[in-house]
């Protein structure tokens, strides 16, 4: 599906991350991969992590929410690789206290931080990619959301608000960028045991409930999510934009 396509994945951390599953499936479909990771001190770990993806490139960024940093990285990537055919935004963060305490106690600083990193960074990334002519014709942008954007999940708290904003952004960006032939979508994955998920209070309970309640009676895997993202990056999904696609084994359809 992705032969001769250059795909940028922002936010890879380790082999358990959803971004890694996306990389595996996109690479399997023929994509040439470019990665952006946080922190120059993580270079050795990232280099080893992406070694299975031949001819891939990687770039560090100190702060995904810093516009100057993002400008620098995009300019460097374009100079060294040319334009890309797709971008995967796999970035989110909230302070631990704001996930462990009741939502009503969310600090103003924590609220702004969660939305800045998890939501606004996607708007900024999209705008800068357009500004620097970084996207090929018919490019596809994909971000990652979660069911906590539309339903209350204890412990998800401010991240649920950030994901709700993200899903709304997808719709507005799809309208804006559609004029240039660019598609924008979100994948709402079921719960997956990632390093980030460990910060959510009682996450194991969320996994158990989702497995018990969804129609398939099992939780989704990184690769299942990765396959869906690869499809959304490909021309096979050329008629889909502005959507949040659920990859959760049907958990979101259940009423109880």
Which residues carry out catalysis?
146, 156
- Distance, CA of 222 to CA of 102 (rounded, Å): 29
Rounded-to-10 torsion of CA 118, 82, 34, 197: 10
Give the whole-angstrom CA distance, residue 245 versus residue 233: 13
């Amino acid at each position: 599906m992705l032969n001769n396509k250059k795909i940028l994945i922002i936010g890879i951390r380790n082999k358990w991350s959803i971004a890694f599953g996306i990389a595996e499936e996109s690479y399997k479909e023929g994509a040439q991969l470019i990665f952006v990771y946080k922190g120059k001190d993580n270079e050795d770990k990232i280099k080893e992590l992406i070694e299975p993806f031949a001819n891939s490139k990687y770039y560090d960024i100190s702060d995904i929410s810093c516009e100057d940093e993002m400008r620098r990285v995009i300019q460097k990537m374009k100079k060294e690789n040319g334009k890309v055919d797709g971008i995967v935004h796999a970035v989110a963060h909230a302070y631990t206290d704001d996930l462990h305490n009741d939502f009503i106690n969310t600090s103003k600083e924590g609220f702004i931080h969660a939305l800045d990193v998890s939501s606004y960074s996607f708007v900024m990334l999209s705008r800068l990619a357009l500004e620097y002519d970084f996207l090929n014709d018919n490019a596809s942008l994909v971000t990652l959301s979660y069911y906590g954007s539309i339903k209350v999940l204890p412990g998800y708290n401010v991240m649920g608000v950030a994901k709700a904003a993200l899903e709304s952004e997808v719709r507005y960006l799809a309208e804006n960028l559609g004029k240039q032939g660019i598609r924008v979508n979100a994948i709402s994955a079921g719960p997956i045991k990632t390093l980030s998920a460990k910060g959510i209070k009682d996450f194991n309970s969320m996994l158990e409930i989702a497995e018990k309640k969804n129609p398939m009676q099992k939780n989704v895997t990184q690769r299942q999510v990765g396959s869906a993202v690869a499809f959304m990056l490909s021309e096979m999904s050329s008629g889909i934009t502005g959507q949040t696609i659920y990859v959760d084994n049907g958990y979101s359809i259940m009423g109880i």
